[in-house]
Amino acid sequence: MLYRQADGSLVQILPNPYRRDNYFQGGVVYEIPSGPDRFELEVTPPFGEESFIIYAGTGELGSLELEEVGSVYKVKTSPDSVGEKTRGIKIVEKGKKNGVEFVEEKIDIVVQR
């Protein structure tokens, strides 16, 4: 789960230093943070149009270049390359596909002071 801030920078919401587990059961509604999570989300500047971007798959996704900055991971991968880094395509022998399913969803919000 990534968060695109009003200034265009990206931070990774999950996993984070306080919740490294990134497994969620399909078909279940989750509240984040909740239950055993050891973190809260606090609205801070910059304010404006922002987005949550969720990537999910039935198998391992690609990896992003991250930098731990306090309580979040700053995404160092170029925003234009995030999609390429989280999934891809390859040619496999007929009948040997791995069956990984993938979905990306974006939720736009406006954060005001």
Digit-coded pLDDT (tens) for 33-85? 888 888 888 888 889 999 999 888 877 777 788 898 877 889 998 877 777 77
* DSSP characters over 29-64: ---SS-TT--------SSPEEEEEEEEEESS-----
The pLDDT-based confidence of 87 (bands split at 50, 70, 90) is: low
- The confidence score (pLDDT) of residue 83 equals 74
Q: Looking at the predicted structure, is the pLDDT value of residue 104 above 80? A: yes
Put the strands of the sheet holding 10-12 in their side by side order: 66-69, 72-75, 10-12, 2-4, 48-57, 102-111
Residue 90's pLDDT band (cuts 50, 70, 90) = low
Cβ atoms of 48 and 111 within 8 Å: the answer is: yes
